[in-house]
Amino acid sequence: MAPHKAEKGIRPLCIGEPIYKACSTHLNATNRQPIANALLPINYGCCVTSGLDFASTSISAMLTEPVHRYGGMKDDVKNAFNEMDRRIILRRLYDEESLSSMWRLADWSYNEPSPVYVMDRNGTILDVIMCSQGVKQGCPLALNLFCIGLNPTIKEAVQELPGVIPIGIADDVTFSGPPQAVLQASVKFGELLPTIGLSSRADKKKFIWLHDADLPEDVASSLTEMNINTTTEGTIFAGIPIAATNDAIQTLLAPTLDSVGEFLKILQHPAMPKLEAYQFLQQSANARCINIARCLRPDFCAQFARVFDQMILDTFEDLTSLHLSEIQSAQVRLPFSKSGFGLRPLESISPCAYIGAAAAITPLWKPALGESWQTDYPLYTQTVFDTIDIVRDMIDRKDGNDLLPDDPTEFWNFHTDGKGRDLDRVQGWLTASSEGALFDAWKGSLSPGDRARVTSASQKFASMWQLSTASDTRIENNLFVKAVLLRLGSPGQSCSDPAAALSDKRTATKLKDLRHKFLTESIAKWAERAGAERAETEPKNVWTVDNLRPDIDLILGGERFLVDVAVVHPTSTSYVIEARNALGGAADMVYLKEQKYAEMALALDAKVVPAIMETYGAISDPLLKLFRDIANYSSTNPYALWSRHEIYNGLCLDNSLVLQKWNANILLHSERAGRW
């Protein structure tokens, strides 16, 4: 298809046929390392782990290092993806023996012209254009083929200029090195582009000079004659600001903050369901800026991160109509596993992100910048050493030796040959350790009741309700806000336990009965989907000795389970002491249920399953084991329409949603009744 561009012209897009997309995606995956080997150390745009991190970090290191006074030329190739000669692309692909498994499919897809349909908004075909040049945007092979086609041209441009280092992300190419040599490389690159069907745009080229000293006169004169703009403040490379001063960095980042602000405004639209708005906030906001934290030195990132973090927190308050206290703000910024809402503050994770990126790009420095790169770029290496000291103070002391070397100068050896060689996971490890240390200190400042609440809300699957995406299970706006308040520990302020209505037997008894009913039905529903021979709720005539009966009589193959559902409130006076420990509130109820049905289970050759949940979302071990048994049983049923993973995830998610929806209903009812 060829939709119209926002400015002018059309943008051909390839809507791939599913089998072709599956095959080409498979080829990309199986050839990831050979493709990277073919492109390095020039283009980092595809198949190179942490390629974007290295490209922006290395360019910044070269252009801001005062020892060398390097300049940079940021080249712009006109309409590169659509105009590169396909014959050149295929010929250069065929030159790579290691990529021979890609040859046939690439030839079949690109050896002959293909039709592009120009359509209006109603899907009516207005015209047909035969596409015979460039790669098909939307084709899974496109980026790899383009980079393979462009790479030899970049290499040839610097072949006789050993001091110039080209770094590319697809068609975004920057030459760095001595100013005069960089200018020569750019000119040569422009001369070579027509041989592959491309052309350079001089009006969009930019020479980068970030040093206090003036640009050499001969270079400045040549740039003026060639009508090439020169910047002394900085530039953006692949979304990452490159500049020598903090003020210049903040100026370059201002449009990013404006873009984030526009995104956050959309989330606050009245038509946007609050749960979905929160999910976009949690999953997308930080993702827009995490690469900045990975590539930008923490002291330059700090000011931007503070503003960004406050924007996120303000949006969360607007969504929930809350004015968060300092303790609540800290909880909101914690990960789900620490009772939080996953709105991790960029300012606090940026040092860990920076060191994580520094570890991940370690293998890429030597091939690109030579054996002595550490001594050649002391400003960057010293920044890494300083950040290591910052991170060491942030993380849990017991993790220090496993995550960071004792001697910062051994950092790169440590992350290639030592304990830290699992490079891709360094950031995650460091962040988890620092968050764990912060959480322990924060939790220690809480009251016993708040510690019980936080302990329960930190358990596995307690936050599942926050991740629901299906429209039929979405929590309504007013219930979402009340569930947020419950997790934060502030649904009311008139008693020692602000959520006392959840344990008060006099309050909302019918709603509590409904909560119990829907939890029971949810378990039975998923058991039936797994193929259970029996999943009867409120079974009759199971036990004739007295009126005792479980909530579910469940049979999975040769095993029978007597399931009895209950919800306990860990911050009630009955449980608050025990609830200081994980699932302490549920433990007593588990024991009571086991004793209650012991005689029945023995007589029926069944197992008792105390299906206990805590109001803050924690699921007892016996109930989780039942979920696993139900999910595993589905894999033995050849007629099951649901996979094991879907069954297990559905049990955890649905029960989490039902629990929090009806908790919120109970609290709203109690609020209207004036109980607290």
CATH number, position 44: 3.30.70.270
In a domain, 537, yes or no: yes
In a domain, 373, yes or no: yes
- Give residue 237's pLDDT: 92
**Would you say the C-alpha torsion 308, 313, 318, 320 has a positive or negative sign?**
positive
In a domain, 9, yes or no: no
Q: Are residues 412 and 434 in the same domain?
A: yes
In a domain, 505, yes or no: yes
Domains in the chain: how many in total?
Answer: 3
Counting residues of the chain whose pLDDT is more than 70, the rounded percentage is 93
**Packing angle, helices 142-157 and 86-94, rounded to 10:** 80
Residue from 381, 384, 383, 423 nearest 403 by CA: 423
The continuous run of DSSP H or E covering 240 comes out as strand 240-242
Q: Are residues 421 and 504 in the same domain?
A: no
Residue type at position 536: E
Choose the final residue of a domain: 183, 216, 242.
Answer: 242
| 581: helix, strand or coil | coil
The continuous run of DSSP H or E covering 152 comes out as helix 142-157
Q: Are residues 306 and 189 in the same domain?
A: no
In a domain, 110, yes or no: yes
- Give residue 492's pLDDT: 37
- Give residue 403's pLDDT: 74
Decide: 180 and 69 in contact? Cβ < 8 Å: no
In a domain, 4, yes or no: no
Q: Are residues 357 and 497 in the same domain?
A: no
Q: Are residues 492 and 575 in the same domain?
A: yes
Q: Are residues 250 and 147 in the same domain?
A: no
- Give residue 422's pLDDT: 64
- Give residue 676's pLDDT: 44
- Full-model pTM: 0.87
Q: Are residues 188 and 278 in the same domain?
A: no
> Contacts by 314-321 with C-beta closer than 8 Å and gap 24+?
315/264, 315/267, 315/268, 315/281, 315/285, 316/278, 316/281, 316/341, 316/343, 318/268, 319/267, 319/268, 319/274, 319/277, 319/278, 319/281, 320/274, 320/480, 320/481, 320/484, 320/485, 321/481
Count Cβ atoms within 10 A of the Cβ of residue 266 and give its class: 0-12 exposed, 13-18 middle, 19 or more buried.
exposed
Strand partners, 535: 554
Residue from 368, 15, 6 nearest 167 by CA: 368
In a domain, 1, yes or no: no
- Give residue 161's pLDDT: 93
Q: Are residues 261 and 406 in the same domain?
A: yes
- pLDDT tens-digit readout, 556-606: 998 999 999 999 999 988 888 888 888 998 999 999 999 999 999 999 999
Choose the final residue of a domain: 222, 242, 262.
Answer: 242
Residues of the domain holding 320: 245-444
Q: How far apart are the first and last CA of the chain?
A: 61
Q: Are residues 317 and 209 in the same domain?
A: no
Under-70 pLDDT residues of the chain:
1-16, 397-401, 417-424, 470-473, 490-496, 674-676
Q: Are residues 147 and 66 in the same domain?
A: yes
In a domain, 622, yes or no: yes
Q: Please state, in angstroms and rounded to a whole number, the distance separating the CA atoms of residues 586 and 578.
A: 9
Q: Are residues 432 and 478 in the same domain?
A: no
Residue type at position 287: A
Choose the final residue of a domain: 242, 268, 291.
Answer: 242
- Neighbouring residues of 603: CB distance < 8 A, sequence distance ≥ 6: 543
Q: Are residues 199 and 102 in the same domain?
A: yes
